[in-house]
Amino acid sequence: MLLTLAGGTLFFPGLFALCSWALRRWGPEWTCTDRVMISTRLVSSVQAVLATGSGIVIIRSCNDVATGRHWLAWEYVWFLIPYMIYDSYAMYLSDWYRARDQDHAHSLTLRSFLSRNRLMITHHAVILFVLVPVAQLKQQHTLLYKVNGVLTLATFLCCRILLFPFMYWSYGHQQGLSLLQVPFHIPFFCNVANAFLIAPQIYWFSLLCRKALRLFDTPQAKKDG
């Protein structure tokens, strides 16, 4: 646990410094702003690949999606904490260099930075102060965990499933068609592609619903907790 935390604390800033050094050596014509922006994106890409890879390993190793456990899920939470802190600073650094290039560096206060990046900062803060404690303390029986589960279901339903009928409705509204008429007035491959895209979303949503039912089953929730 502490070793993973220390590793993440060294890894992400160290990778950022290494990328900046390499860009300064191989691309002397690039400005400091360019190097900071590219290095930030490279580190974020590496983190995304690591997170995706960890997710694939966990999924392939767990036979039961509701009760399966894997050591990597626990360890990666500790590895994620330093990244969220680093990334918040990296965002501020990127904004500072952009403002400097525009002769507005003196106006980039912490308050203005938070105001312009409130969604991303909120995202990082929720992961650090809500997701991490819940994942570490195994508080599946608490109200906070249940509220988070309901919000996850609602967000998944709206953004990954209802998005498809909304797209059809929007097209029908533009073309003067009803929702049921739209599939017959668009290319067949569009319907096939959308079917392939929405099918796994419905499957994953059903798994989330099953997990939610277990969550609100008090005896089982207490047992899991």
- 80 domain residue, yes or no: yes
C-alpha–C-alpha distance, residues 149 and 74, integer Å: 19
Q: Is residue 189 within 8 Å of 183, Cβ to Cβ?
A: no
Residues whose CB falls within 8 Å of the CB of residue 151, separated by 6 or more in sequence, listed in order: none
pLDDT at 9 over 50: yes
Q: Provide the pLDDT confidence category of residue 192 given band limits of 50, 70 and 90.
A: very high
Asked if residue 197 and residue 110 are part of one domain, the reply reads no
- 225 domain residue, yes or no: no
Number of domains in the chain: 2
Residues whose CB falls within 8 Å of the CB of residue 30, separated by 6 or more in sequence, listed in order: 23, 24, 38
Asked if residue 39 and residue 7 are part of one domain, the reply reads yes
- 49 domain residue, yes or no: yes
Q: Is residue 190 within 8 Å of 200, Cβ to Cβ?
A: no
pLDDT tens digits, residue range 125-159?
777 666 666 666 555 666 766 777 788 788 888 87
144 vs 26: which has the higher pLDDT: 26
Of the residues 90, 105, 128, the one at which a domain ends = 128
Asked if residue 188 and residue 113 are part of one domain, the reply reads no
Asked if residue 141 and residue 117 are part of one domain, the reply reads no
Extract the tokens encoding 190.
């569009």
pLDDT of residue 17: 92
C-alpha–C-alpha distance, residues 19 and 38, integer Å: 8
- 112 domain residue, yes or no: yes
